[in-house]
Structure 1
Amino acid sequence: MSLGPYANFIVTSYLLVAAVVAMLIAWIAVDYRRQKQQLHELEAGGVLRRSGRSATDLK
């Protein structure tokens, strides 16, 4: 497969996009864990959800 004279630009662009997508996935995973931990702390402190379900019911 020949990308022509723009091969360097094309490969660099794809690598940058892959890096950004990987960082977004990592950020979402870390934020999910943080939010889940905060929810457990609130429930342990006596704060209840309006739906009446606990965090363990969401699995």
Structure 2
Amino acid sequence: MIDLGPHAVFILWAYLGVAMTVAALVGWTLHDARSTARRLAELEARAPRRAAR
């Protein structure tokens, strides 16, 4: 393994924290995108259709 010096534990925890934060943000973004798409589909299904010009 790479020698990270006396601060190895801090460095590894910092990388783990960043990875967990990025994973949480990606997960939240995917969840929000799906719920937004679902809500948009519901609104489009309820909206009256407009006549084409």
TM-score (norm 1): 0.77
Deviation, structure 1 residue 7:
0.1
CA-atom RMSD in angstroms: 1.3
Q: Distance in 1 between matches of 2:48 and 2:15?
A: 46
Q: Name segments (4+ residues, structure 1) moved above 4 Å.
A: none
Q: Percent identity?
A: 44
Highest RCO, 1 vs 2 (Cα 8 Å, sep ≥ 6): 1
Given residue 27 of structure 2, which amino acid in structure 1 is its aligned partner? A
Give aligned pairs, total: 48
Structure 1: gaps (5+ residues): 49-59
